Structure 1
Amino acid sequence: MKKIIIALVFVLGAISVQAQELYWETNVNKAIEVSKKTKKPMLLFFTGSDWCGWCIRLQKEVLKTPEFSTWAKQNVVLVELDYPRSKPQTNEIKQQNSQLQQIFGIQGYPTVHFATVTETKGKINFNSLGNTGYVSGGPSAWLGVANGILKKK
């Protein structure tokens, strides 16, 4: 019995480590470069990480799961655009996030936009593939919506 418990703890630990391996870029310019190199669209997660209940729920139920982690590594470049009330942010990040909020017309949180980027004469243009928010039903339901959006590209 003791061996079973130890094995279970090891497996659960390995799963949580896998889910934590995801890297969320906060600098959109860096994310754009990675997106260009990898030819993957960006997943832009607009969140109020320290006050938005639905954002926290989306993180817990989907974005921090092994299923999402595996999917994300294969399909997208992750970008977190946070609008916290208590957490400190640099002025550069605040300004960047404010501009992106206007560009994408964000009116509520959480909002997840999938986008690619084209550059014309040095000007960056975001090409929105679609967007979603919280979807009930856990990772499989959310990923079903995300895959539907990405198939349009």
Structure 2
Amino acid sequence: MFTIVAQEWQHDFETAKKVASEENKPIILVFQGSDWCAPCVLLDKEVFQTETFSLYAKDHFVMIEADFPKKPENALSEALKKHNYELLNTYNTRGIFPFVVVLDSEGKVLGETGYFNATPSEYILHLESFKG
């Protein structure tokens, strides 16, 4: 049986920075509304959940998600909600969804993007272009 080894999504920014520093990888911070934002769902399905992206991200990025669900059944813990709003107030002050921020291991912004019609490989190249 073949098992896909997917990238691990972080939910704590300090942990993500630590891992990024230790592994010399950029951080990909994804702001999404998983149960109300159609472009967010498309980006997740067409890019982030694909085998191509997952396998690449595992070795090249530290992925962190800041989700803002609206349905009660998808509610986050108060601590995670607070954490996500702190990230929103720092990195997504315009409240754009989906919003993808490429950061260095110290949290410095290297680039910003969102959803656009791209293959997983094209999206990877786009994210890599921010690394300089």
Task: Name stretches of at least 5 consecutive residues in structure 2 with no aligned partner.
Answer: none
Contact 1:135–1:141 (CA under 8 A) maintained in structure 2: no
State the superposition RMSD in angstroms.
1.5
Kindly state the Cα deviation for residue 57 of structure 1 after the two structures are TM-superposed: 0.3
Which of 53, 62, 85 is 1:77 aligned to?
Answer: 62
SS at match of 1:18: coil
- Give 1:109's aligned residue: 97
Kindly state the Cα deviation for residue 49 of structure 1 after the two structures are TM-superposed: 0.7
- Give 2:110's aligned residue: 129
Contact 2:18–2:105 (CA under 8 A) maintained in structure 1: no
Q: Quick check: 1:92 aligned with 2:71?
A: no
Kindly state the Cα deviation for residue 141 of structure 1 after the two structures are TM-superposed: 2.1
Q: Quick check: 1:18 aligned with 2:4?
A: yes
Kindly state the Cα deviation for residue 113 of structure 1 after the two structures are TM-superposed: 0.5
- Give 2:12's aligned residue: 27
Question: If the length of structure 2 is used for normalisation, what is the TM-score?
Answer: 0.89
Kindly state the Cα deviation for residue 106 of structure 1 after the two structures are TM-superposed: 4.3
SS at match of 1:137: coil
Between the two structures, name the one with larger relative contact order (CA 8 Å, sep ≥ 6): 2
Report the Cα distance in structure 1 between the residues aligned to 2:50 and 2:38, rounded to whole angstroms: 18
Q: Quick check: 1:62 aligned with 2:60?
A: no
Greater per-residue helix proportion: 1
| Cα deviation digits, residues 75-121 of structure 1 (max 9, x gap) | 11010110110212111111111111111124211111011243xxx
Q: Quick check: 1:46 aligned with 2:43?
A: no
| Cα deviation digits, residues 27-72 of structure 1 (max 9, x gap) | 1122122112112111101100111100100011110111101220
Report the Cα distance in structure 1 between the residues aligned to 2:26 and 2:118, rounded to whole angstroms: 24
Report the Cα distance in structure 1 between the residues aligned to 2:120 and 2:61, rounded to whole angstroms: 16
**Aligned AA (2:96):** G
Task: Name stretches of at least 5 consecutive residues in structure 1 with no aligned partner.
Answer: 1-9, 119-125
Question: If the length of structure 1 is used for normalisation, what is the TM-score?
Answer: 0.78
**Aligned AA (2:15):** K
